[in-house]
Chains A and B, each alone.
Chain A
Amino acid sequence: MDGTKVAPGRTAGLYAGAAVLRLAIFTLLPGLANLLTGRVEVSTPVTSFKRQGLFLYNRNVSPYDGGVYHQAPLFLPLFSLLPSFSSFPIFTYLLYIVVDLLSASALWRIADSGEAGSSALFTSPRREKRWSGFGIAALFLFNPFTVATCIGRSTSVFTTCAILHAIAKAVSGAPFGAMVALSFASYLSMYPLLLLPPLILLCYDRQCPERAINSGFRFAATCVATVAGVLAVLFQLSYFITGSWEFLPSTYGVQLTLSDLTPNVGLWWYFFIEMFDSFRSFFLAVFWLHLSSYVGGLTLRIRRQPLVVLTLLLGIFAIFKPYPSISDTSLFLAMVPLYRHVFPLMRYTFVIAAVILYAAFLGPAFYHLWIYAGSGNANFFYAITLVWGLGQSLLVCDLMFAVLRDEWEVERPEMVGKEIRQI
């Protein structure tokens, strides 16, 4: 699996294989699809397929009445354009499959750009050892978490697709496209807005030489203006569709204030269930501050490799978001193989794999004990989500360590291969 050219037949084969696998699960095991749609690991209040306000929307009632629907308004025309899910589910299936394939193709382009190994400011001595776009796209498409997200019809696949396209556009020197894609991602789930600083840097580093804007400040200002403009248009569209600004508190407000405490694989829900109301706003601020504090630090520290910052941030979001699901993990895991060249520098790969696998199996078991068997309680599930978060944060830390070590070895060639201790 080296970075060799892949025959077009293999490309088509990969996509066809992934599509057939998903379609087969959708059609042959509809029970599994329905089960996954209801699982807390797959569907959060802000991404659930079942919680769509389509019924209300099609009957000219505000979909945000009743406080069940917490997703962006533009989903509603999209899904109401499709033939009804109850009579022709195949169209919905196809939509989800296509979105997954689009994500994979964006990932492929990111991988083939070689940005992970050599960015504008840094070239890793190990970059030769990498996986082809084919391999990375295959890892993404056949990752069980990705498949489960697609089968569970979580709307987070759209966000994933938009984020990957934003990065792909950025590495291929199309800042405008990247900003538009990021605006869409932010519009759908809000948190991708935090990816803006490293994405601007990535765009800046990968500009086409002929159309380059050399002033960093001007470039950043243009990007921010683009994002703001696109978001404004999207909001205006949403306003026209729903007829009120009610969607803002119901979608972004819910994420900001965590008013829906349905359990998920994240770390917030339990904490805020237990919280006294008087401390709630304070801790909300602390949690959000914590989540956003990584952006600045990482962007500055790993300035030379903006793609690394994006990857690490995606990992951090998958752990510390208010409503994370395995879809966020699958996005992070999709980006990690780009760093094949630093894998030998990682130290805990086996531990990470084991922890994530254990958590992935024990989580549903403990959830069952809590909700169905009644012999466990919420602490069981929360303990496992802690382990899950631990596994992912280990991966984030280890990847960060490997990347920094890679940079460091360029500065200090005499230390290559020596044991160092992290303090």
Chain B
Amino acid sequence: MPTVNTPGLSLQRIYSYVNRLPLFTRLVVAAIVLFEAAAILLGNWWDVRAWGALAPDELGFGSLYRTNTYPLIHTDMFHLIVNLVSVTPMLDMFEREHGTLTTLALFIGPLSTLPALLYVGAEKYVLGLHSPVMGASIWAFLLAAIEAVRMHRVHPYFVIAGQSFPVWATPLAALVVTMVLWPKTSALGHLCGLAVGYICGLGLLKYLAPPEKVLRWIEGRLNLLGRLPHYVSVDQKTHGRFGVLPMSNLGATPVLINAATASALQLRRDPRILKLPPYLSLLCIVVGVAWLLLLPLDQYSRRTYISENALLPGQVHTYFSGSDQNVFRAYKHEVNALVGKSNAEINDKLEPIVKGLGLKTARQNFTYHAAGHTYAGENLYAILQAPRGDATEAIVLVAAWENVKHEINRNGVPLALTLLRYFKRWSLWSKDIILVLTPDSIAGPQAWVDAYHDAHDPSRVASLPLKAGLLQGAIAIDYAQESRFDSVHIVYDGVNGQLPNLDLINSVVHIAGGQMGIGVALQEMWRHDNGYSDRLRTMLRGMLKQGLGLPSGPHSSFIPYHVDAVTLQPFGEGWQDEMAMGRVIEGTFRSLNNLLEHLHQSFFFYLIMHRERFVSIGTYLPSAMLVAANFTIMAIALWVKSGQAPEAAASKSKADTTTTPPPTPTVERDLFLPLGVVALIQSLSIVPLYLFNHAPESILTPLFIAFTLINTALPSVLSHLLTQTYAPTAQQYQLVKSFSLLLLGMFLSSLATLNFSLALLTGLLAAPLSFAGPCRSRRTTTCRAAAAVLLHALGPPAVLLAAAAYSRAGVAAVLREAAVGWHVCGTYSPLVVWCVWWPAWLATSVVVLGKGEDGDGDGEGKGNGKGNGKGNGKGNGKVKTT
């Protein structure tokens, strides 16, 4: 390694110094760092600091270990760093001087226990205090004292400004400085260390060191010198105070071993670094998934809390009961008479009822076309003007005539009417209340809320003749159940995985659960024991729903407009009646009425795992980002690999290179073909997107079958065409894969900020693509076929089929839902499947089937390594095949 006079030198010096640290010093440093890591990571299960500190009160025979562990444990990161920096060089020096075994014996034994006992004695019995101590600084002072005494023998005094100071006292000065700088440190502890150090330095503890003969015998028997790296033997002792200057000879330690920590330039050169990325990206995926699985634990999730103080949920008396029950029965009678009638007839009947309450009403027509069906209807809505407001804000109460399962909302509609009549009697509303009665749960609310925000397409959706102010919140009632109920199910997923502010859900939980004593369920978890598995299930169900991005109730359409909304759905057999449900809604409305500004305090990105437990975005986002990062890592690795000459990968002789290998020539990359292939595949993705979103439902199943068949053949056909026309080189295949993975990683990390669950799901389903590469083994055909089959098993059509089978709905139904979501609500999940996942899958399949020659027989006239290539290529082509 040439010594260059550049600024990098000092860094290299540090590297070389660290690399030359002897064994015991390394162990101590590692132990210190590990303990700190344990203290941080396992903080909640095992308090390392309390376990290992030298606490005078805790010390007994059972806890004598403390006298050994306390120097390895630190109070915080700063403490750790300061102590490491001070102890490491001195310990290094000591070990070089005395050998590893002696150091081990001394520091495990007397040099930590003696100060400890001294300290305990002084602290407990002399001073009568009980403060626990920890940290390696005690060793620092001990070693400094030894050093100072030795130094004193050579140079007894040093002179500053004419004053001479005894050298042995310098550690004392250091002690005083430490006391001043960090008053928290235990001066007594340091003093004990110093005392033992002085004694030791004066040679009074010599007898404690193990005799050299024994050491030599042990060393010889166990061949420690040969087995342990960085071991300082008894005979190797330097007997010098500084040993060898770093960087002066590096012959002893092979450079390559340390290349990983050497400068970045060397790092780039090391061929082994290129083998790392697959493992790294696998690690990313595993950690990402493990992270997700950890979330339901108490340590990672948080209890919910109401963040917006203005909400005051459950702080008011609710008066909805008594005579309102008669009103409810009357309305229900009217509504029951309307079952089976057409939408217009229903509205004709209901409008006079609402008008009769003294409210302004209006109607809105809408027509949507999706999957060959027409979703048309007429919304009816009424506005209760706030007695105390200025018509700038409004709250919405939605009651759809049919819920998402197409059951008639028999109790919900009369309950909404009753509530509106009841609300009309109160004078405390400061926000307008809008009652929206829609014919269905998806298209109707969507049309209404689009038109309310003037974001509608006037050819399909009529404009609203009547409007109020800014919508502050919306509650939808889905009460199709006839009998009395037990609990309330809160549906909160919006379109495209957007969520209402957590405060809204918390308020409902608080009002229903806390005030009314009604149970609350989420994500169709009718029973929830708040254990790990139930929490995980709730969370995964939520993620799946958000990932699919489909509307889950009348509230879903509101959320994209930043209107926080939930659907309340009573369920179960219990003794709660419609009035209880009404009181929950009344309470929630009262809370929303209190709002001074739009809900913003609490979280918009969260995963709920129990009604009172959630994780926020900061905690869960890393898992999706890690999964997305795995693609980027592989893309970068493939790019780097594609730029290296084939011989470079082959020249991995285990020679002891004391000099750096000559720089590997970077091969010019041929970018046009790979870019063209990726662009072509990416543009092909418009075809399935268009087809599946525009085909009528009747032909969806045949279309899907045809597509699956074509899709099965497509990779082979494309790869065949590619081979025939362009005969791509292995480098070009690598680049194709690199670009497609780069795109995938990029799309997914962008998506993770918008719809975490969808990004994670897509990322996990696409994860195998990272590891699929062209086959290089001897049995290429078999390997290719196996890889192709595996890839097909994880391709979008296969997963769609599996999903359809799992949901027992049939492929056509799944595709229809997707098309309806796409056309009515603007769900972008189909876009992600067909334009993000499918192209990446197709590109990888083409690469896997590609007949790229072995690394070097590229046949394109590059000519490098054509002669010697074959043999090397076979042995070293280490691209993983799924």
Contact = CB atoms under 8 A, between A and B. Distances in A.
Interface in B475-532: 498
A354 to B, nearest CB: 6
B605 A375 contact: yes
Interface in A353-369: 354, 357-358, 361-362, 365-366, 368-369
B636 A350 contact: yes
Contact of A372 (B562, B632, B636): B562
Interface in B600-622: 600, 604-605
A414 interface: no
B663 A366 contact: no
B7 A357 contact: no
B750 A361 contact: yes
A374 interface: yes
A421 B725 CA distance: 42
A373 interface: yes
B498 A373 contact: yes
B7 A344 contact: no
Contacts of A28: none
A423 B6 contact: yes
B753 interface: yes
Contacts of B636: 350, 354
B663 A361 contact: no
Interface residues of A, number: 22
Contacts of B663: 417-419
A78 interface: no
A362 B751 CA distance: 8
Interface in A218-235: none
B350 to A, nearest CB: 33
Given A1-B672, A354-B742, A368 B747 contact: no
A371 to B, nearest CB: 10
B108 interface: no
A91 B598 CA distance: 45
A344 B668 contact: yes
Interface string B391-402: 000000000000
A383 to B, nearest CB: 11
B803 interface: no
A366 B749 CA distance: 12
Contacts of B749: 358, 362
Contacts of A375: 604-605
Interface in B415-431: none
Contacts of A361: 746-747, 750
Nearest to B604: A375
B780 interface: no
A369 B753 CA distance: 8
B753 A423 contact: no
Interface size class of B (residues with CB under 8 A): 20 to 34
B753 to A, nearest CB: 5
A188 B585 CA distance: 60
Contacts of A344: 666, 668
Contacts of B668: 344
Contacts of B6: 421, 423
A367 to B, nearest CB: 11
Given A373-B562, A419-B265, A354 B7 contact: no
B297 interface: no
B492 to A, nearest CB: 15
Contact of A357 (B562, B604, B639, B742): B742
B562 A374 contact: yes
B498 A357 contact: no
Interface string B742-779: 11001101110110000000000000000000000000
A350 B639 contact: yes
B673 to A, nearest CB: 12
Contacts of A417: 663, 665
Contacts of B751: 365
B7 to A, nearest CB: 7
A11 B598 CA distance: 57
Nearest to A361: B750
A357 B675 CA distance: 14
A126 B154 CA distance: 66
B340 interface: no
A372 B6 CA distance: 51
B632 A365 contact: no
Contacts of B750: 358, 361-362, 365
B8 interface: yes
Nearest to A135: B672
Contacts of A374: 562, 598, 600, 604
Contacts of B635: 354
A377 to B, nearest CB: 10
B57 to A, nearest CB: 49
A77 to B, nearest CB: 34
A292 to B, nearest CB: 31
A42 B607 CA distance: 35
Contacts of B753: 362, 365-366, 369, 376
Interface string B327-354: 0000000000000000000000000000
B221 to A, nearest CB: 48
A329 to B, nearest CB: 17
A152 to B, nearest CB: 20
A372 B635 CA distance: 32
Task: Output the residue of A366, A372, A373 with the most chain B CB within 10 A.
Answer: A373
A421 B8 CA distance: 10
A341 to B, nearest CB: 12
Interface string A386-423: 00000000000000000000000000000001110101
Given A350-B636, A350-B639, A358 B746 contact: yes
Nearest to A344: B668
Contacts of A1: 672
A368 B635 CA distance: 27
B400 to A, nearest CB: 25
A375 B635 CA distance: 31
B259 to A, nearest CB: 15
B103 to A, nearest CB: 39
Given A1-B672, A373-B498, A368 B742 contact: no
Interface string B658-693: 000001011010001000000000000000000000
A195 to B, nearest CB: 30
Contacts of A419: 265, 663
Contacts of B8: 421
A378 to B, nearest CB: 14
A373 B617 CA distance: 15
A368 B562 CA distance: 12
Interface in B84-116: none
Interface string B639-664: 10000000000000000000000010
Given A344-B668, A362-B749, A373-B604, A354 B632 contact: yes
A44 B498 CA distance: 30
B562 to A, nearest CB: 4
Contacts of A357: 742-743, 746
Interface in B373-418: none
Interface in B284-340: none
Nearest to A357: B746
Contacts of A366: 753
Contacts of A376: 753
Interface in B574-609: 598, 600, 604-605
Contact of B7 (A368, A369, A423): A423
B679 to A, nearest CB: 10
Residue from B668, B672, B753 whose CB has the most chain A CB atoms within 10 Å: B753
* Nearest 8 A/B pairs, CB to CB: A375-B604, A374-B562, A361-B750, A365-B750, A350-B639, A362-B750, A365-B753, A358-B746
6 contacts: A344-B668, A354-B632, A354-B746, A362-B749, A365-B751, A373-B754
Given A375-B605, A417-B663, 20 more contacts: A344-B666, A354-B746, A357-B743, A358-B746, A361-B746, A361-B747, A362-B749, A362-B750, A365-B750, A365-B754, A373-B498, A373-B562, A373-B604, A374-B562, A374-B598, A374-B600, A376-B753, A417-B665, A418-B663, A423-B7
